[in-house]
């Protein structure tokens, strides 16, 4: 028995489709959906096999079709235009719908429902060559580094910004993505004055199937090798970014260079939201963690910060994930009363870390960098910059050999230009 979901989006062909499907013993219409959200929620139950969709249904995008496939639902589209029209073919290809039928002739609908097979992604993948930075060979060696940490402002953004800036200073292309759904501040730290949100622009392009070709248009260039995807303009706009959008954004970024992701602190997932096919508040963070090649966990070097770090390491371990975890203890200072050895013993009790790094507390250097809108590694040659360089050596050892003859210089607002 083939179970069908039907989304006609108010078109008159719905009655004809129901008549043709109801007459079959091997087909049953599981639900008539009122909109795309209703369709995605019905697909999540796992009971449907095929979805018959209006090709022009409001809100139907590649992320929606990807959601259907995730739950084993194969899509068939119905169009009021001619199926062989160029615009119809292009839209079906963009959505990755394998079969398109004309609304004026649904005599083959039942046969299509029982015989349609899912197809692999056949979209053409074009090498993206945006103006800034230059795309280089060897993209398969690029890595996605996700910077995460518990609540309490332990310095996630500071570490992410300076890690990315250090990589760029070594002449390696890098994309710094602000995927913090609670209040990203990458743009502010780098003095990027941009009214348009990079992550929202990227989500819209991903939804329309144009991200590969136009990814460079949502990036801001900072210096010669660093591109920035700015975060949400307001925290309440997290609803506009789905997990599928994040996946496509990070995939586009890895084609350009290494990717460093600044995330939020929370890991909780709302299962009820997924039932409706809508993103969860923390989907940007959890999706990035799932796609990471390595996770850098940042904790603050004080009693409260270390307690939060310990709980955070447990939470991260319990949610699973194959990526190795590297721990960074930020703002390390002698006045807290604990030695690096003692803190290392605490960390080892909660996780198997790929490495443990201590960043010294240099408030003056951080303040100067924030005021100038530039990374610490470009505005200071002190102990903090050297510690960040050591962290970069460990996280991205391939950049060490590129550091000879490194291209140092300001990457702040004076060097800012659009990608």
Nearest Cα neighbor of 84 from 105, 104, 100 is 100
Tokens of 414: 């004076």
Tokens of 296: 């850098």
The pLDDT of residue 123: 35
- All residues at 6 or more sequence positions from 339 whose CB lies less than 8 Å from its CB, including other chains: none
Q: Check for a shared fold between 2-115 and 139-418.
A: yes
What pTM value is reported for the model?
0.73
Q: Are 327 and 355 in contact (CB under 8 A)?
A: yes
Distances (CA, A) of 187 to 73, 108, 199, 226, 227: 40, 53, 12, 13, 11
CATH topology of domain 2-115: Rossmann fold (3.40.50)
Strand partners, 357: 328
**Domains of the chain by residue range:** 2-115, 139-418
Exposed/middle/buried for 386, CB within 10 Å: 0-12, 13-18, 19+? middle
Distances (CA, A) of 362 to 81, 333, 409: 65, 9, 21
What is the CATH architecture of 139-418? 3-Layer(aba) Sandwich (3.40)
The per-residue pLDDT string of the chain (419 residues; one tens digit each, 9 = 90 and over) reads: 899 999 999 999 999 999 888 878 889 999 999 988 889 888 888 889 999 999 999 888 888 888 898 889 999 999 999 998 998 988 898 888 989 999 999 988 988 998 887 644 433 333 333 344 444 444 568 999 999 999 999 999 999 999 999 999 999 999 999 999 998 899 999 998 767 899 999 998 888 778 888 999 999 999 899 999 999 999 999 988 988 899 999 999 999 999 999 999 999 876 555 555 567 889 999 999 999 999 999 999 999 999 999 999 999 999 988 899 999 999 999 999 899 999 999 999 999 899 999 999 999 999 999 999 999 998 768 999 999 999 999 999 999 865 544 555 555 433 443 33
Kind of pairing, strands 50-54 and 74-79? parallel
H-state helical runs in 49-108: 62-70, 86-95
């Amino acid at each position: 028995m083939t179970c069908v979901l039907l989304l006609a989006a108010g078109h008159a062909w719905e009655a004809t489709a129901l008549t043709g499907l109801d007459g079959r013993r091997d087909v049953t219409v599981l639900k008539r959906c009122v909109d795309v959200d209703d369709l995605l929620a019905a697909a999540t139950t796992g009971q449907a096999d095929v979805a018959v969709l209006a090709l022009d249904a409001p809100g139907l995008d590649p992320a929606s079709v990807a959601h259907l496939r995730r739950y084993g639902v194969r899509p068939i589209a119905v169009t009021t235009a001619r199926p062989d029209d160029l615009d119809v073919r292009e839209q079906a290809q963009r959505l990755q719908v394998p079969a398109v039928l004309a609304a004026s002739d649904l005599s083959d609908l039942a046969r299509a429902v029982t015989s349609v097979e899912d197809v692999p992604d056949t979209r053409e993948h074009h090498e993206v060559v945006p103006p800034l930075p230059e795309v280089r060979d060897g993209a398969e060696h690029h890595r996605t580094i996700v910077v995460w940490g518990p609540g309490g402002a332990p310095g996630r953004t500071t570490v992410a910004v300076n890690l990315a800036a250090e990589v760029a200073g070594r002449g390696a292309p890098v994309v710094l993505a602000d995927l913090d759904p609670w209040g990203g501040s990458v743009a502010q730290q780098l003095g990027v004055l941009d009214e348009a949100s990079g992550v929202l622009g990227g989500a819209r392009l991903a939804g329309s199937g144009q991200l590969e070709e136009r990814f460079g248009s949502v990036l801001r260039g900072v210096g010669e090798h660093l591109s920035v995807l700015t975060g949400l303009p307001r925290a309440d706009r997290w609803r506009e970014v789905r997990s599928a959008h994040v996946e496509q954004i990070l995939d586009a970024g890895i084609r350009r260079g290494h990717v460093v992701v600044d995330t939020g602190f929370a890991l909780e997932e709302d299962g009820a939201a997924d039932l409706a096919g809508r993103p969860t508040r923390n989907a940007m963070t959890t999706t990035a963690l799932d796609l990471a090649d390595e996770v850098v966990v940042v904790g603050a070097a004080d009693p409260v910060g270390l307690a939060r770090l310990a709980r955070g390491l447990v939470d991260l371990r319990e949610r699973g994930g194959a990526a190795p975890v590297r721990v960074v203890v930020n703002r390390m200072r002698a006045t807290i009363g604990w030695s690096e050895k003692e803190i290392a013993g605490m960390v080892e009790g909660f996780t198997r870390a790929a490495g443990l790094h201590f960043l010294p507390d240099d408030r003056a250097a951080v303040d100067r960098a924030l005021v100038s809108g530039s990374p610490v590694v470009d505005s200071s040659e002190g102990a903090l910059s050297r510690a960040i360089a050591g962290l970069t050596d460990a996280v991205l050892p391939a950049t060490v050999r590129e550091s000879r003859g490194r291209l140092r210089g300001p990457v702040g607002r004076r060097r800012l230009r659009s990608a």
